[in-house]
């Protein structure tokens, strides 16, 4: 396999692939990211990750991001899936599940992070509705007893 294969895979995969540098500035944005978030690569590249991070979650996001850049350690670098809310260009909030790949420079310092993301909004909403239904059924069963 050659570099063309890897480039074609990342460019054309349906999942979003986003790479941000150590300052959280987007350096790579594939077609999957454009479809998921509604921003073209030209609109996203050079922007802060605030572009897709809901305002109320930014402080927590940046605290974790900067700590990872400082220490080179992350709880999510071994393939764990993280699920969080994100924001689209049209302002709609979505749920995304993603894994990350930390990148280090030649000196072993953090250079940035790539994330592979999938929109799981539909599954999240279905799970939430099922949980509400189960809670309602439990409540009715307890009332009847």
In sequence order, which residues have a C-beta less than 8 Å from that of residue 102 and are 6 or more positions away? 68, 72, 74, 77, 110, 113
Instruction: Report the pLDDT value the prediction gives residue 64, as an integer from 0 to 100.
Output: 93
Per-residue model confidence as pLDDT tens digits over 36-48 = 999 999 999 999 9
**How far apart (Å, rounded) are the C-alpha atoms in residues 60 and 10?**
28
Read off the pTM. 0.83
Query: Which CATH architecture group holds 3-120?
Result: 2-Layer Sandwich (3.30)
Mean pLDDT in each 10-residue stretch from start to end of the chain (145 residues)?
Answer: 84 94 97 97 98 97 94 78 94 95 93 96 77 78 79
């Amino acid at each position: 396999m050659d570099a063309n294969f890897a480039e074609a895979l990342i460019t054309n995969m349906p999942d979003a692939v986003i790479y941000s540098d150590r300052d959280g500035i987007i350096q790579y944005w594939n077609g999957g990211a454009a479809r998921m978030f509604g921003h073209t690569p030209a609109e996203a590249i050079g922007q802060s990750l605030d572009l897709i991070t809901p305002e109320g979650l930014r402080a927590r996001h940046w605290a974790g991001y900067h700590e990872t850049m400082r220490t080179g350690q992350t709880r999510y670098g071994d393939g764990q899936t993280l699920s969080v809310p994100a924001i689209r260009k049209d302002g709609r909030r979505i749920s995304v599940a993603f894994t990350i790949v930390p990148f280090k420079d030649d000196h072993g310092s953090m250079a940035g992070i790539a994330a592979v993301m999938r929109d799981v909004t539909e599954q999240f909403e279905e799970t939430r509705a099922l949980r509400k239904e189960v809670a309602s059924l439990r409540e009715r069963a307890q009332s009847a007893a």
